[in-house]
Amino acid sequence: MASSAWSDTEIDTKEFLSQPKAYVGSEVCRTCHLEHYDAWKRTLHSRMLQDARANKDVIITEIDPEIIKSD
């Protein structure tokens, strides 16, 4: 068994490492790493990979539509 340095949650290391590797998303990370998640969430890093076509609020600067166009 292993315990995270930032959490009191014990995990079975062999079981964890034997699982298929896949991106699980920030909400899953949050369950064990709340302090780090909260600090990350307040930064621009938490919004850097959002789809601007789906959420125009992620664009934090003016964009000239004559220069930059969406496909």
Number of H helices, E strands in the chain: 3, 2
Per-residue model confidence (pLDDT) at position 35 = 94
Which tokens sit at 53?
Answer: 């076509």
DSSP E strands, the chain: 2-3, 10-11
Per-residue model confidence (pLDDT) at position 37 = 93
pTM, rounded to two decimals:
0.44
Per-residue model confidence (pLDDT) at position 15 = 86
Residue 51, C-beta contacts closer than 8 angstroms, at least 6 positions apart? 58
Cβ of 15: how many Cβ atoms within 10 Å?
9
Per-residue model confidence (pLDDT) at position 34 = 93
- d(C-alpha 51, C-alpha 14), whole Å: 36
Task: Please list the ranges in the chain whose pLDDT falls under 70.
Answer: 1-9, 58, 70-71
Report the chain's mean pLDDT, rounded to a whole number: 77
